[in-house]
A and B are shown apart, each in its own frame.
Chain A
Amino acid sequence: MSNVHERLRRLLFLVPYVSKHPGVTVEALAKALTISREDLLEELDLLTCVGRPPFNPDDYIDIYVDNDRVYVDLDQRLYAPPRLTAGEAAALAAAAELLRPATGDALQSALTKLENIIPPAARERFRDMYRKIDATGEAPLALGPLTRAILERLEVTFAYASPGRPSEPRRVRPYELLSNRGQWYLQGFCHTRQDARLFRLDRMEDLGVTSTGFQPPADARADVPNPARGASEASVRVRFSPTAAPYVKERFGQDARPLADGGVEVRVAGDSERWLTQWVLSFGGEAEVLEPASARAAVARAVHASIGS
């Protein structure tokens, strides 16, 4: 998309926004437009030259900054933004599909309302474009209540089955939901463990939202879990056959050490036996744990368990 196009779209939103929020701070306006303060000031400069012929003084947009706040006295009929274009509505609808399984009826009704505010002539194109992004089916049902609990700052309870342990009840302050490689996690403060924890949504059962409120910390941001490249000391050596090597190289990049037979070797964190064995087994015989011996034995045990031998 051309720069002119992007700029026009931004400016056609900027004037109405200031019209609706007179005295908005320069900082808040720049944030709303996701541009820098300098770029915003440049845009405001340009807008003072915009108006309609015959370009008498009253025909120009009168927008100005006073005491670091932005005001518009004459918006030249730019008091509301343009309607959603087919592309904008399609991108939004496709993004909303990411949460579909978790949203109940709210998503369907939101999409219907969205379609109603697109110009009638653009609706066919919207439907056509909307079908071009398919991001459905990724979200578990628990996402709905958890999103609400995060927004309303209410504690939640659930039964959680940690690997290798029976399910036990937890009471958690939910801070953030995180999706990584198709797996959803909840980050929050666990009262049961008295510590910050990351929970996999697919291991939660009997989720309930309580009426106990809490104040989330400002910087509650979870790290993306990646046992393969964790911060802990990498201690397990795994060798991959030439068949699996290209896929491993794709994920590990330069951390995958090439071997003479065309295979590769990587080192991964060994603090989660369950993760390690699942990961090695998912290569179906194209991966071999070289050391330590305890990890090799764990893989062999997991295979015996799987086939019941």
Chain B
Amino acid sequence: MDRTERILDLVALLLDAREPISWAELREHFPADYGGSDDAAERKFERDKAELVELGFPLSYVQGDDERRDGYLVDRNVYYLPEADLTKEELAVLYAAGSAALASGAFPGRDDLAHALRKIGFFAGESLPTPRVRMELGTGQEGQEKEVSARLETLWEACSAHKWVQLTYGSPKQVGVTERRVDPYGLALRRGVWTLVGYCHLRQGLRTFHVHRIRELKANTARPRTPDFEVPADFSLDAHVAYFPWQYRFHEPMEVTLLLTGPLASRAGSLFPGAALEPVGEGVTRARFPVTFVDGLARFVLSLGADCRVEGPPEARERLERMAARILEKHALVEGPRVSA
């Protein structure tokens, strides 16, 4: 019998049973599948049981007594999906975000997400909203969606099962690639880019990896149900992945103050989330926040134009001015057409 068919038969049998079903009975019911030697039959059943548990099937073994015999039983109250009674708004949020993430082609746990969406829509009937939210996530350049999606799926499974992964990584900062074994702690999405955070055995510490820069990836398949590592209780993904260029941890934190004027004054909060904001006179906002990569901030400030100025400290201002001078030098007026090297 096909394995899918056998497991579905088991589901139907156990959902219908009022009394525990013993191993001997199971062997009688499935003579062709659980026949053969005791050892082989038990191993096969163990694998099927593990699959049922993976499916979330609430199977338990009941020790018999005078009233009841030993055997396997399923708690029907736990098996069936109950109505979640989601309001229209709640359903819209879950459905819009879930389908957008799914359609983006790069979201960890795609299969899980697809099943979850179907299930929450099961009771919704006609009121299921048509999502009109679309996201392009996670790829460095066009055409990489498939690879990134496959890697995210492998990483999601490895994160969930606490299994280490072996990866080949190509960082733009280095020539060539490195081979690393990493304990994957989690995945974070920042400005459309997926980052893996985990313990790198090569560097003996926590490291971050852009998923689109992973060239090859393999998860440890040995003893799939035994975790390879534990994630420290105080670990937080957010503490390791930067949202903005000035948050890369290259230097000790330095408090920087910016002055925002004109149309930027009212956008200070969204441009620099988390900054302490202070209104300074008519249409001027002062923003103060810690910076660990001044060059990253300088580039961003330059790109904002005349309405964003660095007030202090002097080191940050000097850094920005040096950078500006370098750009001006490169863009000085030249005679005749330029030829590239």
Residues of A within 8 A of B (CB): 1, 4-9, 11-13, 16-17, 20, 32-34, 46-47, 49-54, 59, 61, 76-92, 94-99, 103, 106-107, 109-110, 113-114, 116-117, 119-122, 129, 131-138, 140, 143, 147-148, 150-151, 161, 167, 175-183, 202, 205, 220-222, 224, 229, 237, 239, 246-247, 249-253, 259-261, 263, 265, 277-285, 288-291, 293, 296-297, 299-300, 302-308
Contacts and interface: CB of A to CB of B under 8 A. Distances in A.
Contacts of A138: 189-192
Nearest to A125: B160
B145 to A, nearest CB: 12
Contact of B186 (A132, A136, A263, A290): A132
Q: Residue among B100, B101, B191, B301 with the most chain A CB within 10 A?
A: B101
Contacts of B340: 237, 239, 259, 265, 290
Contacts of A183: 192
A95 B29 contact: no
Contacts of A109: 87, 90
A307 B273 CA distance: 23
A117 B15 CA distance: 19
Contacts of A280: 327
Interface in B112-134: 112-120, 122, 129-130, 132-134
Contacts of A285: 323, 326-327, 330
Contact of B109 (A133, A220, A305): A133
B337 interface: yes
Contacts of B268: none
A280 B98 CA distance: 35
B23 interface: no
Interface string B325-338: 01110111100011
10 contacts: A8-B4, A12-B11, A53-B9, A84-B116, A88-B112, A94-B108, A113-B85, A113-B90, A121-B78, A202-B267
A131 B186 contact: yes
Q: Residue among A47, A98, A183 with the most chain B CB within 10 A?
A: A98
A250 to B, nearest CB: 5
Nearest to A161: B263
B116 A300 contact: no
B56 interface: yes
B207 interface: no
Given A82-B81, A177-B134, A288 B324 contact: no
A88 B113 CA distance: 6
Contacts of B54: 5, 85
Contacts of A4: 3-4, 7, 51
B109 A83 contact: no
A83 B321 contact: no
B252 interface: no
B132 A150 contact: yes
B111 interface: yes
Contact of B141 (A88, A99, A252): A252
A131 B300 CA distance: 30
A51 B114 CA distance: 26
Contact of B132 (A151, A290, A308): A151
A24 to B, nearest CB: 12
Interface residues on B, range: 35 or more
Q: Residue among A96, A281, A291 with the most chain B CB within 10 A?
A: A281
B122 A117 contact: no
B87 to A, nearest CB: 7
Contact of B116 (A47, A88, A113, A119): A88
Q: Residue among B93, B129, B190, B212 with the most chain A CB within 10 A?
A: B93
B86 to A, nearest CB: 6
A179 B341 contact: no
A303 B298 CA distance: 12
Contacts of B266: 205
A127 B200 CA distance: 24
Contacts of A11: 4, 8
A284 B327 contact: yes
Interface string B93-112: 11011101110000111111
Contacts of B55: 5, 8-9, 12, 82, 85
Nearest to B195: A134
A90 B89 CA distance: 20
Contacts of B119: 13, 81, 83-84, 88
A59 B337 CA distance: 84
A260 B341 CA distance: 6
B164 interface: no
A282 to B, nearest CB: 5
Interface string B259-284: 00001001100100100000000000
B117 to A, nearest CB: 7
Given A53-B30, A95-B113, A281-B302, A83 B295 contact: no
A106 B338 contact: no
A40 to B, nearest CB: 14
Contacts of B91: 110
